[in-house]
Amino acid sequence: MNNKLFIIVIVGVVTLFGALVLFSDNESTPASDTQPQLRLSDIHGLEVAIDDPDKLYLPNHQGLYFQEADGVLQKAGSISDDLMSFAVSPTEPDVFYASGHPKTGGNFGLIKTTDGGDTWTNISDGLDGPVDFHTMAIDNVNEQLIYGYYRGALQRSSDGGLSWEYVENAPEQIIQLSAGQNEARLYAATVSGLQVSENAGDSWDALATINETVAAVEVNAENGQMFAYGVNRGLLVSDNKGETWVEVDLDSVDDQVLYITSSRNNPKQVYLVTRSLEIYKSTDGGETWSLR
């Protein structure tokens, strides 16, 4: 009996030691030295953290993900719903807004998190909702001013998303929205070009310098530099509010650009993501690009 007990104890110690060694080996391998375990199946937006130019937020069908300087993709919070649009607060690093579909079906209107995506609360259903904004924007000066595009109509809220009104005479077939550097300035990328409003959407002017389908638009909140992606001309950069544009050589990018974002903290740091879900980074204001 004593011999049997001794053998059982020895086997237990060896098993425990092996488990500890395996755990220790796994822990000793830095995450940056391994391939990220998570992969994106699609992407519905691209934003930079307002307090960290190296941190990207990527919403998709399975919720919200983020990627830091090490390139490892991580899940933000436990939400696994389909985020069709996403926007970060211009003042609070842990405050985000989103719209889309719950995984159980239907739409969930506008939701908000104040803890970096750990928990979300419903703000409102929007007009004729619950809405499913496929693009949205928050004013860079007045965070209470929020825009969303749903079923071919532009909606606007002036109280942080609690109540909404339709924007009359808004551009048709909007693909993306981007808030400008000044309060109430809003840009709309459409199938017929890029349009701008200086009065929160009440009236619009076409930027005649881009008269083709614009698939993506971005305005840096700090220095006002603009980026747009025309389906024929490719990536364009403007330093004078869209009056003139410079075409950027994107030899390293052989796919359509879906989203562009730039850092408020470091305006020279710009990112874009392509249809094939490759993320590119520029550290010189969009002049040169490399894979993230």
Q: Which of 79, 82, 56, 53 is nearest to 277 (CA)?
A: 56
Cβ neighbours of residue 9 closer than 8 Å, sequence gap 6 or more: none
Name the pTM for this structure: 0.85
Express each pLDDT in 66-121 by its tens digit: 999 999 999 999 889 999 999 999 999 999 999 999 988 999 999 999 999 999 99
Q: Kindly list the domain boundaries of the chain, sorted by start residue.
A: 179-247
Express each pLDDT in 44-72 by its tens digit: 999 999 999 999 999 999 999 999 999 99
Q: Which residue has the higher pLDDT, 243 or 27?
A: 243
Written as one letter, the residue type at 98 is A
Strand order in the sheet with 226-230: 214-219, 226-230, 234-238, 246-247
